[in-house]
Amino acid sequence: MYAAEDTRRVATLDALRRLTRSDMDRVDALIRESLQSDVLLVSQVAEYIIGSGGKRLRPLLVLLGARALAYDGDEHIRAAAIIEFIHTATLLHDDVVDASDRRRGRHTANHVFGNQASVLVGDFLYSRSFQMMVRIGDMQVMDILADATNTIAAGEVMQLMNVHDPDTTEERYLEVIYRKTAKLFEAGAAIAAVLAGRPAEVRERMAEYGRCLGAAFQLVDDALDYKASPDELGKDLGDDLAEGKPTLPLIHAMSKGTPEQRRLIRAAIENGGLDNLAPVQAAIESTGALEYTTERAKRAADDAIAALADLPPSDYKDSLIAVAEFAVNRRS
The ranges assigned to domains in the chain are 13-329
In the prediction, which pLDDT does 291 show? 97
- In tens, the pLDDT along 116-147 reads 988 998 999 999 999 999 999 999 999 999 99
| Inter-CA distances, 115 with 142, 150, 324, Å | 29, 22, 34
In the prediction, which pLDDT does 325 show? 93
Write the CATH number of the domain with boundaries 13-329.
1.10.600.10
pTM of this prediction? 0.90
Residue 4 — pLDDT band, cuts 50, 70, 90? Answer: very low
| Residue 10 pLDDT greater than 60, yes or no | no
- In tens, the pLDDT along 185-234 reads 999 999 999 999 999 999 999 999 999 999 999 999 999 999 855 555 44
Per the model's pLDDT, the better-predicted residue between 49 and 255 turns out to be 255
| Residue 166 pLDDT greater than 90, yes or no | yes
Q: Are 195 and 75 in contact (CB under 8 A)?
A: yes
**Mean pLDDT, rounded, for 82-89:** 94
| Residue 288 pLDDT greater than 60, yes or no | yes
